[in-house]
Structure 1
Amino acid sequence: MENGTLDEALQRLHRTGPEFDGWLSNHAPMAAEALIRHGHAGDVHQWIDDYLDHLEEVPRGISPIAADGWRDPLGDSSRTGDWLVFFEREVRAQPWRDVLAAWWPRLLPGIAAGATHGVIRVGHAVRALLDEETPVRVAELGQGLAYWAARWQPLAPAGQGPYRAGDPRAALDAVPRVPDQRFGIRSRLAQLADLPAWPRAAGAVPGEGEVADRLRAIVTAAVQRHLRYGYGSPVMMVHAATAPAAVLRALPALPPELGLPSLEAAWAASAAVTAAYSPAEPDPAVAATSPGEPEPAVAATSSSREPGPALMQDGSPDPDEVFDRAVASGDAHAIKFADAAVEMWRARPDPVLLHAARHGTELIGPAA
């Protein structure tokens, strides 16, 4: 990973706020980290140049947050500026791992913060810090934690299960849909409390094994499912995969006792996004697939007339080409989704992951 380029990019971006246009998340720090990790350091500064016009200045604070007075401003977006100052101070005064260990369990119940972008930004920051600790990366962790705290949003209690399905893909398919999908994520997540099937569907984490393995299985299932269900809301359905991927990235830096609650929160976040944005039926243009099957059949579209993708010897897409397509689109969500998909593919080479990422880039389309 080209460490100097990432630090330069983060220094540029730390002059901008975590949101713009009132609610939209600043994806640039996350996208920059993913671009560099996948060999696109040379594209980062131009990508930021194109994105900067969307961004706003760092918000001003209202009143300093005391170390023992954090509960009241938690989830108060009007205090974003105060949270940024608070965590800037925290990560300067203490080792970053200590700050993360102290605040992770406080923030975890509000994992839906900023449409899950709080935890996602923290996950990218921790992944970069585990590569190399630098002052600007420590500062980026502070900014991610601050955004999570400012937009802290709890989910409806999931209950205790037990969930009968053993694998995460079957579990995601069984998650009930919220009835009214006309409005934004806050409106949709608020409906979970009124769904009788929600506590049992999301109450116990599917799968078996170690925490990291179960997290990978959840991310994998969400990426695979996007292939057939992402068409309804291509951008928002990405977060069913990228939120648990963020938890997985943070896991090595967390105390072991936080592993199980982190897994539970990651599953709840993935299930909640699925409930909020999944369409009622799979995309009829995409043939049914299951993990391990070869290339799915996609109905003819305008994109199918383009030159075919690079294929590996087993007939699956080349992971570098899949990520390159996401980069060419310029869209931050396509980049982050391809990042998660390729990361899972490298852990367990399932071609459906790469097909899902490539198709996701097509669904999301070029950056505005």
Structure 2
Amino acid sequence: MTDDTSGTLDEALERLHAAGPERQGWLSNHAPMAVEALVRHGQGRAVHPWLDAYRDKLEDMPRPHARITEENWREALGDPRHIADWTAYFGRDLADRPWRDVLALWWPRLLPGIAGGATHPVIRAGHAVRTLLSAPDEATGAPTATGTTPSRTAELAHALGYWAARHEPLPPLTRAPAPTPASAADALAAVEPIDDQSGGIRERLPRLTAFPAWPAVPRPDGTRPDGTRPDGTRPDGTSADEARQQLTELVRAATHRYATHGHGEPIMLVHAATAPNAVLRTLPALPRELWAPSLDAAFAASAAVTAAYGPAEPLPADRLPSMGALSPEEVFARAAAHGDEHVIKLTDTALDVVDGRDTALAAALHACALIEPAR
């Protein structure tokens, strides 16, 4: 990981904050997430040229619709007409209170709508939190765990505003009639693809009916079926630290699964890994009692994308991607040269869960092969 002391990330975010989070009424603006990953992995020199190439995918921030207040926010939740209003609301809130306090209040409110906006809002929030956790001190420019910059705080406002505007809970889900999977990999393997995979994700998610019971299925309002104690320990004995470990396992399993199943829909299946990783990146900034419900929501998001886009069969063994002798840094350099925002973000996630098998890096290289390079 490379800390940015050059100001490149802040310059890029300032450049992007005149743009809205979407274009053409639905397609997400990936630029804030991609440039953060580029800077994070030592590709800062590529940021502004990358943005120059991406600018045709940017649209101005929508006009305000109606001011959001403490009294009416519930009515505005999930209403995309309020994208600018929600961003302004969080901008005001973050100006008045520490960003961790704002996040702790709003995280459980937004978590039930984790799949909204095809999971892009939570992914953007995860990148924003990561920048705040490693932002340079404003006075000295030295990396610190507590420093912030105005552009990075504004990025959190944009991310949370986008999430609030696109907040959309999954349909009521039951537990699949099968034994509880022993691992995250087994759980994702047990997710049944929906029968009708026509239309986009907004048409597919309402067709979901059941998920495997790993680690649990959240209710539509975001609460756990069995509750969670204030200390972050669940009645089944899962502690906050165990929830974090399971979430790491989920991110690794989803990344590895892309190597064998990414051909089902190469772009959309990226989010089965990047969405739970956004949650994992956010945990250090959250109260521990929110870690277990965050794990449940992250699994629901990953399983939802898996069910909506997963292929019926994995790649044959002789067609699986090969990692070769490339280092993690070399794999990310390839992703940066490829230029597609999804490839960059999946590779960024893969580098978080690299292990001795190198399957995560092979998944990243597979994305480079499956997804059309940026022009």
After superposition, the C-alpha distances for 1:109-133 in whole angstroms (9 at most, x for unaligned) are 0000110001000000000000011
CA distance in 1, matches of 2:168, 2:334: 33
Deviation at 1:19, TM superposition (A): 0.4
Partner of 2:260: 228
RMSD between superposed Cα atoms in Å: 2.1
Are 2:335 and 1:326 aligned?
A: yes
**In 2: Cα distance, 1:152 partner to 1:84 partner:** 14
Contact 1:310 1:321 in 2 (8 A): no
State the match for 2:31 in structure 1.
Answer: 28
Q: Is the 8 A contact 1:310 1:318 kept in 2?
A: no
The residue number in structure 2 matching 1:306 is none
CA distance in 2, matches of 1:154, 1:5: 36
1: distance between equivalents of 2:214 and 2:207?
15
Amino acid at match of 2:267: V
* Aligned partner of 1:184 among 167, 191, 200: 200
SS of equivalent to 2:353 = helix
Change (3 A) 1:271 1:297: closer
Query: Equivalents in 2 of 1:163, 1:253: separation in Å?
Result: 34
| Post-superposition offset of 1:325 | 1.2
Shift in CA distance, 45/233, structure 1 to aligned 2, threshold 3 Å: same
> What's the counterpart of residue 301 of structure 1?
none
Change (3 A) 1:297 1:328: closer
Deviation of 1:78 (Å): 1.2
Match of 2:309 in 1: 277
**Equivalence for 2:372:** 365
**1:164-202 residue CA offsets vs partner (Å, 9 max, x unmatched):** 21111111011011111110001110001xx3x436578
Task: Name the structure 1 match of 2:276.
Answer: 244
Asked if 1 retains the 8 angstrom alpha-carbon contact of 2:350 and 2:361, the reply is: yes
* Structure 1: distance between partners of 2:286 and 2:174: 25
1:8 pairs, out of 11, 28, 31, with 11
Secondary structure in structure 2 of the residue aligned to 1:166: coil
Structure 1: how far apart are the matches of 2:18 and 2:86?
15
Letter in 2 for 1:263: L
Aligned partner of residue 315 in structure 2, secondary structure: coil
Match for residue 293 of structure 1?
none
Alpha-carbon distance in structure 2 between the residues aligned to 1:63 and 1:352:
48
Do 1:202 and 1:271's aligned partners in 2 also have CA atoms closer than 8 Å?
no
The structure 1 segments of at least 4 consecutive aligned residues displaced by more than 3 Å after TM superposition are 157-163, 197-205
Partner Cα distance (1:47, 1:144) in 2: 21
Partner of 1:52: 55
Q: TM-score scaled by structure 2? A: 0.86
Q: 2:169 aligns with which of 151, 154, 158?
A: 154
Distance between the aligned counterparts of 2:152 and 2:213, measured in 1?
A: 39
Partner of 2:234: none
So what's the TM-score if we normalise by structure 1? 0.88
Indicate the residue corresponding to 2:344 in structure 1.
335
2:294 partner amino acid = S
Distance 1:189 1:82 in 2: 26
Instruction: Give the secondary-structure state (helix, strand or coil) at the position aligned to 1:181.
Output: coil
Q: Deviations over 1:271-310 (max 9, x none)?
A: 00000000111123x448xxxxxxx566xxxxxxxxxx76
Structure 2 residue 263 is the aligned partner of structure 1 residue 256? no
Segments of 5+ residues of structure 2 without an aligned counterpart are: 136-147, 219-237
Question: 2:211 corresponds to which residue?
Answer: 198
- Count the aligned residue pairs: 340
Q: Distance in 2 between matches of 1:28 and 1:350?
A: 31
Change (3 A) 1:36 1:262: same
SS in 1 for 2:108: helix
Please state how far the C-alpha of 1:250 moved relative to its aligned partner. Answer: 0.4
2:247 aligned residue:
215
Is residue 241–residue 340 contact of structure 1 (8 Å, CA) maintained in 2? yes
CA gap of 1:17–1:163, structure 2 versus 1, over 3 A, is farther
Q: Deviations over 1:74-133 (max 9, x none)?
A: 111111111111111111111100110010000000000110001000000000000011
Corresponding position: 1:101 with 2:114: no
Residue 116 (structure 1) aligned to one of 110, 116, 119: 119
Q: What is the aligned-residue identity percentage?
A: 53
Deviation of 1:204 (Å): 4.9
